[in-house]
Amino acid sequence: MKFLKKTLKNGLRVVTVPMKDNPTVTVLVLVEAGSKYETKRINGISHFLEHMCFKGTLKRPKPIDIAKEFDALGSESNAFTSQEYTGYFAKSDAKHFKQILDIVSDVYLNSTFPEAEIEKEKGVVIDEINMYADMLPRHVQDLIGELLYGDQPAGWKITGEKKNITAMSRADFVQYKKEHYVPKATTIVVAGHVTEKEVLKEINKIFGNIKNTKKFSKVKVKEVQSKPKVLLKFKKTDQAHFVLAVRTFDMFHKSNPTLEVLAGVLGSGMSSRLFQRVREELGVGYYVRAYSDSATDHGFLQISAGVDEKRIKEVLEAVLEECRKLKTYEVSAEELNKTKEYLIGNMKLSLESSDDIALFYGGQELLKKKIISPEERALQIRKVKASDIQKLANEIFKDEKLNLALIGPYKSDKDFEKVLKF
């Protein structure tokens, strides 16, 4: 799929993805401002600020003003925050491109952070934190981050702690936005029934004269581990939820395609090894999956599952055994080809709409400063050999890289430490 890139004089990057046969258009603004850019005192502010950007602007003073305009266009709109970036987007009929660009850019550039709205939204964010804590498959993801990276930004929750949220002031939002919402940290993606000419014309009108200011960097992640580690959270529940993770490498590493296929062999699809072993053979657990999670300066391979709390050790031993098999035996040609086709097919299915396309291209440009097309990514996956997978398995499946985060009715870490051996 064709895409075009342009950098404005102030450093802001624009990616246009024309889709002539798609009747919609998506405008996505991405900024390098996530939990990794925060200090301990204001951990959670990236996510909270994302909420506040919809609470009033200079042009649209009230939240209802923004909501009414989006609704009148029949558009979808939302925002999201991760460790490394925040995104604001809207999707509509392509004829409304100028209007949704105007609203999204207004939200991004001109939010006023009314103090009354901040105080109201604190309750909403705290409710969101409570909700995620009760969603155990989600909460265990926070725990594995804490276990892997400890008390540094990569180990903190994106939503922050409730005490932080309560203490945040309008001045905190104004200062954080001033420091991080700058042209050099921003990428705008427009995907859909548009041309590069009309995209650049409109974006230059809105963003072209914004002053180029210093781009703040994040603290580099420190990797420290010498033996298997366990983080256990006690909770009375019939189903235990765990993440088994090994440290790997960042998103720039040449072995990422191999890692993706390795994870696919283990836990992508109903015919994957872990699904067959845990659900079909052992008859325990509703979900089990494996995938690689890579960021700009760190990464890990994770296996997650929810299983009968009484059979947790049995499942962990089975999962580790499947990992060990990849170290000892090459994947068959049939299984390798099946996994590749599954991964490529799923990638294509995930890129059917203009908003998915926008994030696919924009995320790469923002973080990597380089875009690999779906076709190029498919080619990288097809080139992975069975010997590559076996070699990589021997590199990453080591005791000193192994971590277990677990939620369930258990009281002792020691019982699980004994299981953690490759």
Residues known to be catalytic = 50
Name the token pair of 95: 């004829």
C-alpha of 256 from chain center: 16
Q: For residue 356, with 0-12 CB atoms within 10 Å meaning exposed, 13-18 middle and 19 or more buried, which class applies?
A: middle
47, HSE (Cβ side, Cα atoms, 13 Å): 23
Longest CA–CA span in the chain (Å) reads 63
Q: Which of 81, 243, 237, 234 is nearest to 146 (CA)?
A: 243
What sign does the CA torsion over 188, 138, 141, 288 have?
A: negative
Give the Cβ contact number of residue 39 at 10 Å: 10
Secondary structure letter of residue 60 according to DSSP:
S
CA-atom Rg of the chain in angstroms:
23
Helices (H), 110-160: 115-134, 136-149
For 2, 129, 243, 287, 376, the CA distances from 138, given in Å and listed in that order, are: 36, 11, 10, 13, 32
27: which strand partners? 90, 190
How far apart are alpha carbons 137 and 413 in whole angstroms? 20
Name the token pair of 177: 């936005």
Strand order across the 76-81 sheet: 4-7, 13-18, 186-192, 24-31, 86-93, 76-81
CB of 207 within 8 A of CB of 12? yes
How far apart are alpha carbons 354 and 188 in whole angstroms? 14
CB of 70 within 8 A of CB of 77? yes
Q: Which helix (H) or strand (E) holds 386?
A: helix 386-396
How far apart are alpha carbons 111 and 113 in whole angstroms? 6
